[in-house]
Amino acid sequence: MTVTVNFVLSANIVQGATDGVLLGEFNNWNKDTAIKLKKENDGSLNATLELEAGVTYQYRYLLSDGRWVNDDRVDKCHAEDYQIENCVICVPRETAVLKVETKAKTTEKKKDDLTKIDGVGKKIVELLVAANIDTFSALSNTTEKTLQTILNAAGSRFKSYNPSLWAVQAKLAADNKWDTLKELNQNSKNKRQNKQ
């Protein structure tokens, strides 16, 4: 299996060179089969290669002004028979790692302000987030029993809170029914005041 690898040599290393080639173990350091580097608008040089997965390669850049240079962003190793350092690239065995990183970025969900739920303060939000309840949608799908268990586990300070309407309120918030939520909260406050 092969993996697409992008090689980029930054403009601060390229300096006055007009072009260059990429040489390495992947082409047996053969100048006749060297990979031509493409000059970019920012002054950098780059090339794209298909390399065997799971293999480590040494490589260097040969610029048009005669300089052999290394990429300043990768690991280097000392070439055993020579007094030079080569760049080293370890081509990943699978591209799944890249997919996982991409997925993690795209699935990062936005947390909702759960303090908009009547009866939920900052400390309770911390408890909910610790239980992976950080959105209105997640809260609306959590049973009252589960919420009460979370509160009870946090200590006696939280046992007196009543989460019976939190899921209902969260559902309204998730559906952007803010006027209905406000009305529900006002009715709930009125009932509490009448009981006193």
Beta-carbon count within 10 A of 183 CB = 12
Q: How far apart are CA 3 and CA 24, in angstroms?
A: 16
**pLDDT greater at residue 11 or residue 107:** 11
- 135-154 residue pLDDT tens: 998 899 988 888 888 888 88
**Global pTM value:** 0.46
Residue 153: what residue type?
A
Least confident interval from 25-34, 68-77, 127-136: 68-77
Q: How far apart are CA 187 and CA 84, in angstroms?
A: 78
Mean pLDDT of the chain: 82
**pLDDT greater at residue 63 or residue 86:** 63
Residues whose CB is less than 8 angstroms from the CB of residue 17 and which lie 6 or more positions away in sequence, other chains included: 45, 63, 64, 65, 67
The angle formed by the CA atoms of residues 156, 174 and 132, to the nearest 5 degrees, is: 45
- 77-131 residue pLDDT tens: 666 666 778 888 877 765 443 333 434 444 456 889 999 998 898 989 888 888 8
Q: Quote the radius of gyration of the chain (alpha carbons, Å).
A: 30
3-state class (DSSP) for residue 25: helix
Q: How far is CA 38 from the centre of its chain?
A: 30
- Closest by CA position to 56, among listed 97, 83, 14, 91: 91
Q: What is the mean pLDDT of residues 49-76?
A: 86
Residue 109: what residue type?
K
- What sections of the chain are H helices per DSSP? 11-14, 96-106, 122-130, 136-140, 144-153, 156-159, 166-174, 178-195
Q: Is the separation of the CB atoms in 115 and 135 below 8 Å?
A: no
- Closest by CA position to 169, among listed 190, 187, 157, 194: 187
Residues whose CB is less than 8 angstroms from the CB of residue 64 and which lie 6 or more positions away in sequence, other chains included: 17, 18, 19, 20
